[in-house]
Chain A
């Protein structure tokens, strides 16, 4: 069955960096677009970034552009999110999700919590 397992979250100081990972299994990872989506405490869902199957197309939300970098390793069925210059408002649960474009995000990981605080 399809599984997505995030890791790498934790407590980091403002201005710091963190790298999130998402390990995929149960499907042909190399054939699918993938997204990172987050939910801040008490807030709604916010799309963060998106990467095409071969990394040709990459998009970022304006709120993270220039600070976050999405990447993937199809040989190791892994998705990454490098987060730099972190701010308090980046505090959230970060989900990786399989992306079917117009057909939505059909599988989600369990999420990893990122807390940015001094």
Chain B
């Protein structure tokens, strides 16, 4: 079965740029979405189709996907961005979620 691998944790200082990667075989050939998940809350879609931000998502969130790696970038990271982030791709399953990354803003 298809697997998506993310780093377990990423740390960033407020105002700096955070990058979270998602790796999978030929991932660049698939559409990737990214979700933000805070404790006790439902997931929020922050990027879809590799690079597109849904309405209401701040411009500091951006995405890129090429080769075997997709990347979520948060520019000017704020304390409110501290959360778990999950990538998602469509495969034969049809869906697969990444292993998740805990973003710490300190």
| A binding-site residues for B, Cβ under 8 Å | 35, 37, 39, 44-47, 50, 59, 61-62, 95, 97, 100-106, 108-111
The 3 closest A-B pairs by CB, nearest first: A104-B33, A44-B100, A47-B95
Interface residues on B, range: 20 to 34
Interface pair B45/A106, CB less than 8 Å apart: yes
Contacts of A62 in B (CB 8 A): 1, 93
Q: Considering the chains assembled together, what is the distance between the CA atoms of A40 and B104 in angstroms?
A: 21
Q: Considering the chains assembled together, what is the distance between the CA atoms of A103 and B42 in angstroms?
A: 18
**Chain B positions 84-103 with a Cβ under 8 Å from a chain A Cβ:** 84, 86, 88, 90, 93-100
| B binding-site residues for A, Cβ under 8 Å | 1, 31, 33, 35, 37, 42-45, 48-49, 52, 54, 84, 86, 88, 90, 93-100
Chain A interface helix/strand/loop/mixed: strand
Q: How far is the CB of B83 from chain A (nearest CB, A)?
A: 13
Given contact pairs A44-B97, A62-B1, enumerate 17 new A-B contacts (beta carbons under 8 Å): A44-B86, A44-B98, A45-B35, A45-B37, A45-B43, A47-B97, A95-B42, A100-B48, A102-B49, A104-B33, A104-B49, A105-B33, A105-B88, A106-B54, A109-B42, A110-B42, A111-B42
Task: Given A95-B43, A103-B49, answer yes or no on A46-B1 (Cβ-Cβ < 8 Å).
Answer: no
Interface pair A50/B54, CB less than 8 Å apart: no
Q: Considering the chains assembled together, what is the distance between the CA atoms of A114 and B83 in angstroms?
A: 23
